[in-house]
Amino acid sequence: MLRLHGNDSQALRPHSLVLHSCYSAPMSDEKISNNEAIDAALHLDGDPKNVKQFYEDWAKNYNVDTTSSDYTGPAISAKLLSQYLPTKDCKLLDAGCGTGLVGMELQALGYDNIDGFDLSDSMTDQAIATGAYRQVQGGIDMMRATESYLEASYDAILSVGVFTLGHVPPEALTVLLRLASAGGLLLVSTRTHYYDQTNFQQVVDDLVDSGQLELLQVIRDAPYNNDGDGHYWVMQKAG
């Protein structure tokens, strides 16, 4: 059972490949993960072109590497969503779906109306092969996702393993918020080092203070993988 803490303060548009927005790399070259590929991913420079190419090359080994790292983010996130959204036919978006690990966890819990997107086509090819998704698109930059997806279209949006060093800026949260329907949920994981080195908390606070969302739950310093812990955020769009 998940241990919950108090508040710690559809339709697709025609496909368009847009590579945009950069996010700075980690503050140092210090080793973060004992897995060579995972460590390299955490030291990307945030340029979508480079991130995309990295995952195109890593896709064939991604599941093996993450499994060997005891990656629990997808399972924890899916179970957490089920506590807030028990309706199984609700419209879900897996933002940054990768090879479909989150989708498979959601499918195992009975969810059957899941869309997904990712920057890497090779990763989404594997997500499609899982059979967990209704529709999947590759080549989507999260910062420009509203150019490919209708706003206010999803009952819940999950983004697991994406808000991590060298990948997307915390401001990507505002893009996901636009895709959620009024009263819809956002469930996001953040690696602890990402949280510590970025303004993610400030972005959340600003959205809360402006009345755009409510922070329902934060599970801090929870299991993520064998390199370290993560935080799991449950937020609700105003409406």
List, in order of start, the domains of the chain with CATH numbers.
36-237 (3.40.50.150)
Structure token pair of residue 110: 């009975």
How is residue 27 annotated by DSSP? Answer: S
**pLDDT attached to residue 42:** 86
Spatial strand order in the sheet of 228-237: 135-137, 114-117, 92-95, 154-163, 180-191, 228-237, 213-225
Single-letter code of the amino acid located at 82: S
Asked whether 183 and 239 are in contact (CB, 8 A), the reply is yes
Residue 73 to residue 83: CA distance in whole angstroms: 16
Structure token pair of residue 123: 């990763």
Residue 16 to residue 19: CA distance in whole angstroms: 10
Residue 133 to residue 146: CA distance in whole angstroms: 20
pTM of the model: 0.88
β-strand partners of 140: 18
Residue 102 to residue 94: CA distance in whole angstroms: 7
Spell out the per-residue pLDDT of the chain, length 239, in tens.
233 333 333 333 333 223 234 444 444 567 777 778 888 888 898 899 999 999 999 999 999 999 999 999 999 999 999 999 999 999 999 999 999 999 999 999 999 999 999 999 999 999 999 999 999 999 999 999 999 999 999 999 999 999 999 999 999 999 999 999 999 999 999 999 999 999 999 999 999 999 999 999 999 999 999 999 999 999 999 98
Residue 21 to residue 61: CA distance in whole angstroms: 27
**pLDDT attached to residue 28:** 55
Please name the residue that has the structure tokens 């996130």.
77
Residue 216 to residue 194: CA distance in whole angstroms: 21
Residue 23 to residue 39: CA distance in whole angstroms: 17
Residue 210 to residue 40: CA distance in whole angstroms: 37
